[in-house]
Structure 1
């Protein structure tokens, strides 16, 4: 019986990490369904972006209250989870507070863990109030109904419970240390749980040990469960924010990508030595589809963007089209892209790694033309995103497909392009008549 808890813990740990690894492999496969894109440029700037935006949370504090609260939760989970290493070692080898030999350094660590745990609880409560009582407008958009709303609340509940279990475990441990119970090494400083420990004073040693062990097991099991919940949650950004900010756009925000096939065609048209009647080159590669109608037409960075979306709604709250009542929500663009990508992935799971056409696509079944044409291409959504997501690039690729593959541009846009072609300007006036307004004045 002496080794049974260690064996059980090892099984739970291996199962949790194994399932997480499987989900990460599935995530990687789905992202790699996107087209290749060169991200080898501007490495210094990319590293700077990751350090400043992901690690430094620089874009979060643009809105100070949620920004500071998010930093608390972020630091809390990063630093407190350092203790997970100690828990894993203790669980595998039957030790207790294996790092106690660090002495005063260990006291400082545990004390900082506790203070952060308490701050995380406060931050989580404030976040819950903002979502469910204050009901901020950006959390009430149509795309935030159902699972997205439930998911957001579940994350807050899980974080609250994990921190509470951590403090309960420490409080029971402190009480056992004060009672000189064998195996409970006197180590650590407990600035928060010392106020909880008196609740156990009138309990028997065996009862307190049960409380400490139950809290310990639930805490580490909860962390492993939460780790595997990430794949199904918007909270996946705690892992993907770092690569996403590194691979994020480094070119000026107003600069759009030119299609090489179109550029070559224009160069050929402008080449005076080109023979317009020459037979087409039979060995020339077949031009790729212009733009994107489904997730496989997007590049892998755009698909990474979709999985990284935090659903915070900052992009949508800054979008002028959304503010004026248009149907467009940049957050919904990213959520729809992720949902479609997940649907494609499940299709491949069922069909042994091959995608079998299902009669659906991102354009039309998830994202409507009305949403796409409502965009003003102002880049407000790109600027607002705290983790360098680019909804505009997806919108532009899908617009490109509509114009160049479907000839489905709105009539006003077709009129404008016709005027540019015929008159050299967007307006329906002959070049000779452009200055008539000056004569009338």
Structure 2
């Protein structure tokens, strides 16, 4: 490579990582729009969760076929990207296979990369078949349409292209090594691409070199495009799964958090020494506390991180008893809607120089309907099934709180139950004196 090639490569590299950095800053800004919540407790358990669930993929293998294929793709991409380091160094300094001085170990590395690349290709083609030929139910569900459905296929096409380019690049390189052409000295082992190499037989050496360089440039450019595509894709979970599992709720499933404002009110009512008529200091500039959530700014930042981390795999929806029985609720849609609304709010802020201008929209009603929220049975199946510890239920509960406590918009059956608890101390419409009459019945 000449100096101009090195400069061009450096420019492309800076542009790729620069654009990625700008988009990551937007995501962090959007996540910080959420309410503050303390998730700094029990760091050892949190690190353990991240190691076991995000790195170890422990929840993926609950569905063995998909889990094994996903691990192959995951491990393949992580390990093969070690090769990207060599490409970057070669591109910046004009070298070729800079790590070849490692000798036999280099051959083991390249050979391992090739075998993994082949396995990734097999796994990705299987994923494409599951989505487009077998058409598994959770991939053709009514909540997965338009861009989300296309996005899943686009990322798989990307992976096929990147792995194919890697093998073609190696095959052309290996062919030139066999010919002893130019600077292509023998380096590496090619257990897969050696079977591709014969396609270059009969070609002029210069033509093969041009093809090798073309595969090289398209491969590294494709990696940078892939990196920046993550921002627009559900595959952002490749990066966010790690913080998401670290900051996940460690409380037992089914334990709901109490609203601090309500807790303080109850404590005040139960304190015999408290003066109920004492006026609390009022901050005229303070924003009134909202019970529950009607928009993304009312959710906490971990819930917004959940929304960006959602893999759209549909395991939550396929396990949801409400959805299975035909109700409108889809936990996957809850997360996708939250992310879509958050992105809309972020674009509003960008368009208005850092300030959110009310747009007469909210997450509640404009994206998620009360019918969906009240269909939830609070069973935690969606939380249990999620491979990256996302909690759609926490968002559902916060939005239901808003409906009940801010709008008094609970279903009639729920209002009746709460009235009975208030008047009778039980969900049923019996006087307290009659509550034990059942024991007298035969």
TM superposition score category, shorter chain reference: over 0.9
Conservation of the 8 A alpha-carbon contact between 1:316 and 1:330: yes
Partner of 1:419: 420
1:297 corresponds to 2:298: yes
Which residue does the alignment assign to 1:181? 181
Q: Partner of 1:36: helix, strand, or coil?
A: coil
Which whole-Å CA distance do the structure 1 matches of 2:438 and 2:168 have between them? 79
Q: Which residue of 1 aligns with 2:340?
A: 339
Query: Counterpart in 2 of 1:280?
Result: 279
- Give the Cα–Cα distance (whole angstroms) in 1 for the partners of residues 257 and 437 of structure 2: 38
Q: TM-score, normalised by structure 1?
A: 0.98
TM normalised by structure 2 equals 0.98
Q: Is the 8 A contact 1:73 1:123 kept in 2?
A: yes
Tell me how far 1:286 sits from its aligned partner.
6.7
Stretches of structure 1 lacking an aligned partner (at least 5 in a row):
none
- Structure 1 residue aligned with 2:406: 405
Query: Structure 2: 5+ residue runs without aligned partners?
Result: none
For 1:7 and 1:36, locate their aligned partners in 2 and report how far apart those are by CA, in whole Å: 44
| CA shift digits 1:121-166 (9 cap, x unpaired) | 0000000000001111111122211101110000000000000000
Contact 1:96/1:185, CA 8 A, preserved across alignment: no
Residue in 2 aligned with 1:163?
163
Q: CA RMSD in A?
A: 1.2
- Secondary structure at the aligned position of 1:427 is classed as coil
Q: Does structure 2 retain, via aligned residues, the 8 Å contact 1:97–1:185?
A: no
Map of 2:259 onto structure 1: 259
| Post-superposition offset of 1:366 | 0.2
User: Hey, what's the Cα distance between the residues in 2 that align with 1:437 and 1:37?
Assistant: 45
User: What is the aligned partner in structure 2 of residue 395 from structure 1?
Assistant: 396
Structure 1 counterpart of 2:325: 324
Q: Secondary structure at the match of 2:342?
A: helix
Aligned to 2:37: 37
How much has 1:435 moved relative to structure 2?
3.2
Q: CA deviation at 1:2?
A: 2.8
Residue 357 of structure 1 corresponds to 358
Determine helix, strand or coil for the equivalent of 2:217: helix
Q: Which 10-residue stretch deviates more, 50-59 or 206-215?
A: 206-215
Q: 1:20 corresponds to which residue? A: 20
Match of 2:99 in 1: 99
Q: Is the Cα contact below 8 Å between 1:76 and 1:120 reproduced in 2?
A: yes
Q: How many residues align?
A: 440
> CA–CA distance in 2 between the matches of 1:93 and 1:12?
14
Q: How big is the shift at 1:3? A: 1.3
Q: Tell me the secondary structure at the aligned position of residue 252 of structure 1.
A: coil
Conserved? CA contact 1:87–1:220, under 8 Å: yes
SS of match in other structure, 1:248? coil
In the alignment, is the contact (CA less than 8 A) between 1:261 and 1:287 conserved in 2? no
Whole-angstrom distance in 2 between the partners of 1:27 and 1:287: 27
Q: How much has 1:420 moved relative to structure 2? A: 0.8
How much has 1:287 moved relative to structure 2?
5.2
Q: How does 1:53-68 map to 2 (within 5 A)?
A: 53-68=53-68
2:368 is aligned to: 367
SS at match of 1:143: coil
